[in-house]
């Protein structure tokens, strides 16, 4: 257990539905990252928060993807109008101001049917 928790661990949804995932980082970590990982590939960076500010979002895959971190603690990633190509593992990571290593959660596995 790294201290980063993600919920849910698994999500099956029908195409066209909206889904939201939650990430709770390590409590004192001010930096939070979202990644997507498809089968056989390494994690792909999506977006980054420092406290509540979303400082990098150009890598979000389309305008159907959005992320928030309203109070600088937990974060949510929403995918609207899901497509089968959105099926993947969505990973969250957090990092402290002084720490150099990022800690990853176990991920949320999304299956769009």
Helix (H, G, I), strand (E, B) or coil at 56: strand
The site for other proteins (CB under 8 A) is made up of 2, 4, 31, 33, 35, 40-45, 48, 50, 55-56, 91, 93, 95, 100-107
In the complex, what is the shortest distance from the CB of residue 101 to other proteins, in angstroms, rounded to a whole number? 4
Residue 21 Cα to chain centre, angstroms: 7
Of residues 40 and 70, the one with the C-beta less far from other proteins: 40
In the complex, what is the shortest distance from the CB of residue 63 to other proteins, in angstroms, rounded to a whole number? 21
Residue 39 Cα to chain centre, angstroms: 17
In the complex, what is the shortest distance from the CB of residue 57 to other proteins, in angstroms, rounded to a whole number? 11
Helix (H, G, I), strand (E, B) or coil at 85: helix
Backbone Cα Rg of the chain: 13
């Amino acid at each position: 257990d790294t201290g980063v928790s993600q919920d849910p661990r698994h999500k099956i949804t029908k195409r066209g539905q909206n889904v939201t995932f939650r990430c709770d980082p390590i409590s004192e970590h001010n930096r939070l990252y979202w990644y997507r990982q498809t089968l056989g590939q390494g994690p792909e960076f999506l977006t980054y928060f420092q406290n509540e500010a979303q400082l990098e979002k150009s890598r979000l895959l389309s305008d159907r993807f959005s992320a928030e971190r309203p109070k600088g603690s937990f974060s949510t990633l929403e995918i609207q109008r899901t497509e089968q190509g959105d099926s993947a593992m969505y990973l969250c990571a957090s990092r402290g101001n002084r720490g150099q290593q990022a800690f990853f959660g176990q991920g949320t596995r999304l299956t769009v049917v």
